[in-house]
Amino acid sequence: MNVKILFFIIIWPFSVVAQGFSDLGSRADGFANPELNPTFNFPTDHGAHPEYRIEWWYLTANLNGSDGTSYGLQWTLFRTGLRPGEGPGWQSPQVWFAHAAVTTPGQHFATERFARGGIGQAGVEATPFRAWIDEWVLEGEDFQKMTLTANGPNFGYDMSLQANGPLVFHGDNGYSVKSEQGQASYYYSQPFFKIDGTLKLPTGNIEVEGNAWLDHEWSSQPLSDDQSGLGLVLVIVCGWCKVDGFSTTPKRWITLQLFDLDLT
């Protein structure tokens, strides 16, 4: 992890808009807030919601090679809005970042990407579904059958996904409460993907298959005052991380295994 990038992402959005992330715990100015009893409208809701402050699509997979070796894979695309809505070209207030990783029994490969919204470098479209940043793409005719790619300086992968179960809605039908003060998000998952494809590692290509879980969550004020704002930023910056549980208890609302956070 490049410390400069970390610094930059933490600092930058704070000052870009007077109400930056420092304000995350309070009511979001101009941003929409998740409401109780949501009605999801698919496939549109698979796409981006720029009227909300933050949003992510993250996919984790447990894989096995033909020789039985276990591998882990992760692909995450984050969106953060400096202001609600869209703008023309570079004036778009949306910033995108992504993190991809592969773990082998002995090694960990990770890389990240950054992009501004509005110019076509990154985005998420609902029909047909396409989430992309640079050449990294998660796409398919619908949310059932998709392909996934990512590349880094020393690894990459090309995967295919096939859903074999329904979407799962977290919390109260997809309205997921984060704290007792009422902070909440919209949150659903597709935990039943069959996944297979090729991991491109320095040692060579490895054919793998396994199971994957895709989360899609968006919100505008996910933390209460007694929750750490920096914690969220770190999640966003260092990205993944493997989310394997969820707790609504303050300060433990996400269980993180931060990958290469190197602040020295």
Partner 1 sequence: MMAWCLRALLSHWWRNPVQLFAYLAGLALATALWSGVQAINSEARASYDAAAKTLGEGQYDLLIPKQGNRIPQDVYVLLRKSGWLVSPVIDARINDVRLLGIDLVTSATGLPNLAKGPSAITYDTLLANEETALKISMLANVTVDTSIAPGIAIGDIGLVQRMLKRDDLTRLILLPNQPITQPSLGMVAPNLRVQSAHAVTNVTELTGSFHLNLTAFGLLSFVVGLFIVNSTIGLAFEQRRGMIRTIRSLGVPMRTLITLITVEMMTLAVIGAGFGIILGYFIAAFLLPDVAATLRGLYGAQISGTLELRASWWVSGMVLALIGTAVALSSRIWQIVQMPLLASAKPRAWVVATGSRFRLQLIIAITLLFSTVPLAMTLEGLLAGFILLGCLLIGAALALPPLLGGLLTLVQKYTVAPVWEWFWADTRQQLPGLSLALIALLLAVSANIGVSTMVSSFRQTFIAFLDQRLAPELFVEVETANQSAALEMFLMNRQIEVLPLLTTQVVIADLPVDLYGIRVGQTYRNNWIFLDNTLNAWDAIERGKAVVVNEQFARRADLWVGSLVQVSRDLMLPIAGVVGDYGNPQGQVIITERIFKDLYPNLYASNFGVRTKDASQLRSQIVNTLGIKNNAIINQVGIKALSLEVFERTFVVTSALNVLTLGVASFAILMSLLTLADLRVPQLAPVWALGLTRRRLAWLELLRAVLLAGIVFVCAIPMGLALAWILLTIINVEAFGWQLPMYLFPL
8 is a site residue for partner 1 (CB under 8 A): yes
Q: Which is nearer to partner 1, 14 or 40 (CB)?
A: 14
| Contact mark string toward partner 1, 123..152, x via CB under 8 A | ---------x-xx---------------xx
Judged by CB under 8 A, the number of residues near partner 1 is 33
CB burial of 46-77 (b: ≥16 within 10 Å; e: otherwise) equals bbbbbbbbbbbbbbbbbbeeeeeeebbbbbbb
Candidates 28, 48, 54, 95; binder of partner 1 (CB under 8 A) is 95
Candidates 25, 34, 84, 156; binder of partner 1 (CB under 8 A) is 156
Candidates 68, 105, 106, 153; binder of partner 1 (CB under 8 A) is 153
Q: Stretches 9-17, 64-72, 182-190, 227-235: which one binds partner 1 (CB under 8 A)?
A: 9-17
Candidates 46, 49, 200, 216; binder of partner 1 (CB under 8 A) is 200
Binding site for partner 1 (CB under 8 A): 2, 4-5, 7-9, 11-12, 14-16, 82, 89-91, 95, 111, 114-116, 119-121, 132, 134-135, 151-156, 200
